[in-house]
Amino acid sequence: MKKAGILNRHLSGEIARLGHTDLVMVCDAGLPIPEGPAVVDLAFRAGTPSFAEVLEGLLDELEVEGAVAASEVRETNTEASTLLDRLFPGSGTTGLQLVPHEELKAMTRQARLVVRTGECRPYANVLLRCGVPF
């Protein structure tokens, strides 16, 4: 049995399948999930697990070269906005890019993996682009 890192066997297995430039959507409980990507639904109860907890756990295991979030997060969910700024400093292709929420939802169709959290605050979503550690 794994003794550290992500213990959820479904999520751990999907992470192992990811490669360079693959997209991973980490989303709140309300984001519509399109047909296509693999989905690991971690939602248990409203707020559990939180967006922050899941995102930080994923970042411990993934090499990420960029991230995209909804611009609406700035006005509507300051806690998520602050978290994203801390985890993805800067802007451009290596930092946090902001797009309209409708565009972010459309981009989700290109994701290889969607990880649904129990987060119930709006716009707690981020699309991660996998990188390589070299």
Per DSSP, helices labelled H in 20-118 are 51-61, 73-76, 78-87, 101-107
Q: What local confidence, expressed as pLDDT, does residue 93 receive? A: 64
List binding-site positions for substrate.
Answer: 28, 101, 123-125
Q: What local confidence, expressed as pLDDT, does residue 1 receive? A: 78
List binding-site positions.
Answer: 28, 101, 123-125
Q: What local confidence, expressed as pLDDT, does residue 52 receive? A: 98
Q: What local confidence, expressed as pLDDT, does residue 95 receive? A: 84
Element (H, E) at 39: strand 38-41
Q: What local confidence, expressed as pLDDT, does residue 2 receive? A: 83
Instruction: Flag residues of the chain having pLDDT under 50.
Output: none
**Residue 121's closest CA among 47, 58, 48, 53?**
47
CATH architecture, domain 20-130: 3-Layer(aba) Sandwich (3.40)
Give catalytic status of residue 20 as yes or no: yes
Q: What local confidence, expressed as pLDDT, does residue 91 receive? A: 63
Catalytic residue among 5, 7, 17, 20: 20
